[in-house]
Amino acid sequence: MKSPVQTALVFGATSAIATAYCRILAGRGAVLHLVGRDGDALQSLADDLGVRGAKGVSVAVADLCETGQHEQLVAQGWQQLDGPDLVLLAHGTLGTQAENETDWELQRSLIQTNLISHLSLLSLLANRFEQQGNGCLAAISSVSGDRGRASNYIYGATKAGLSCYLQGLQQRLAHAGIRVVDLRPGPVDTPMTAGLQKGILWSTPERVARAMDNGLEYRSGTLYLPFYWRPIMAVIRILPGSLLRRLGI
């Protein structure tokens, strides 16, 4: 059954994909609570969503890498929305593979942002949702977690960890009536990927957000964005390592 999202708590709301998705919700008159690092950017997004028709938008400024604040941030979001229909985790960084390879500190900070902060939030949110007994918990992972590849295995590893955690939560929370969605976009043309060469499989934040919207309304499990990444990744997962090396993808 389709249950429209009326209230949503969004972490990393100013990321391009989260922004595009929030705009869809705002257009339907949803109430949103946005968490992010840059106060000015959050406020201008809040204004944007207000113009688009959101019934209410509140913001909280926080650096999500500081997991110590998570409990309070989640509590605040819960109170603000009176228990949200949807929580979306969308914060993350990409870094540059070449730079990451030679600098462990950069890798550590990538893991902190893309994995540890997500797991910390997910563990808190899972308990909240279990108590609430309804709702949807979603996080933006990536197709790059499906198989380690030379071009982005560090980023990929954080996403693989995140996806694995989400799969576990799906099973655990299914009994409580909570949907858990592992969102796996392919490469998307956003400020985060500005430095990369774009190809025909690239998508836009708007397109990914529309696909998310279709899926988040009623689905549970893994959602490839756009859909064509499911068959592509199915093939890439089973390719023999020697062939993958030779293809250089």
Partner 1 sequence: MTVQVSHGWGGTSNGAPDRVLTPASAKDLAQIFTTQDNGPFLGRGLGRSYGDSALNTGGTLIDCRFLDRFLSFDTQYGVLECEAGVSIAAINQVFVSKGWILPVVPGTQLVTIGGAIANDVHGKNHVQEGSFGTHLVSMKLIRSNGEVLDCDPETNAELFAATIGGLGLTGMVVSAKIQLRPIQSLSMSVNHIPFKNLAELFSLANGHRESWEYHAAWMDPAAACRKGLYIIGRHSDQQGPLDWPRPRALPLGPLAGLPTDLPGRLFMKAANSWYRRGIRTGQRQASLESVLYPLDRLPDWNALFGKPGFFQHQCVLPEAVALSAFDELLKVVENGGQTVSLAVGKWFGPRQSPGLLSFPAPGFSLAMDFANRGAVTQRLLDELDRVVADCSGRPYPAKDARMQSSLFKTAYPALQQFRQHLDPFLASDFWRRMEATT
- Any idea which residues carry the catalytic annotation? 155
CB of 189 to partner 1, least distance (A): 6
What single string gives the DSSP state of each residue in 113-167? IIIIHHHHHHHHHHHHHHHH---EEEEE--GGGSS--TTTHHHHHHHHHHHHHHH
Place of tokens 């540890």: 116
- Which of 16/89 has CB closer to partner 1? 16
Among 5, 8, 13, 16, binds partner 1 (CB under 8 A): 16
CB of 200 to partner 1, least distance (A): 5
- Compute the distance between CA of residue 48 and CA of residue 53 in angstroms, rounded to an integer: 9
The pair of three-digit structure tokens given for residue 79, joined into one six-digit string: 């109170």
Q: Is there binding between residue 189 and partner 1 (CB under 8 A)?
A: yes
Q: Could you give the string, one character per residue 122-141, with x where binding to partner 1 holds by CB under 8 A and - elsewhere?
A: --------------------
- Which of 177/191 has CB closer to partner 1? 191
The Cα-based distances of 30 to 65, 155, 206, 236 in angstroms read: 27, 32, 18, 38
Window of 29-37, 79-87, 105-113, 192-200 that interacts with partner 1 by CB under 8 A: 192-200
Q: Is there binding between residue 202 and partner 1 (CB under 8 A)?
A: yes
Window of 55-63, 114-122, 170-178, 186-194 that interacts with partner 1 by CB under 8 A: 186-194
Window of 47-55, 83-91, 226-234, 236-244 that interacts with partner 1 by CB under 8 A: 47-55
Q: Is there binding between residue 213 and partner 1 (CB under 8 A)?
A: no
CB of 237 to partner 1, least distance (A): 26
Phi/psi region, residue 143 (left: phi>0; alpha: psi -120 to 50; beta: rest), is alpha
CB of 32 to partner 1, least distance (A): 14
The answer to whether the CB of 151 falls within 8 A of the CB of 97 is yes
- Exposure pattern of 202-211 as b/e (b: 16+ CB <10 Å)? ebebbbbbbb
CB count within 10 Å of CB 98 equals 9
Q: Is there binding between residue 48 and partner 1 (CB under 8 A)?
A: yes
Phi/psi region, residue 179 (left: phi>0; alpha: psi -120 to 50; beta: rest), is beta
Q: Is there binding between residue 52 and partner 1 (CB under 8 A)?
A: yes
CB of 16 to partner 1, least distance (A): 6
Query: Which residues are CB-contacts of 215 (< 8 A; sequence separation ≥ 6)?
Result: 181, 183, 223, 225
Kindly list the residues in this chain that would bind partner 1 in the complex (CB under 8 A).
14, 16, 27, 38, 40-41, 44-45, 47-48, 51-53, 189-191, 194, 198-200, 202, 204
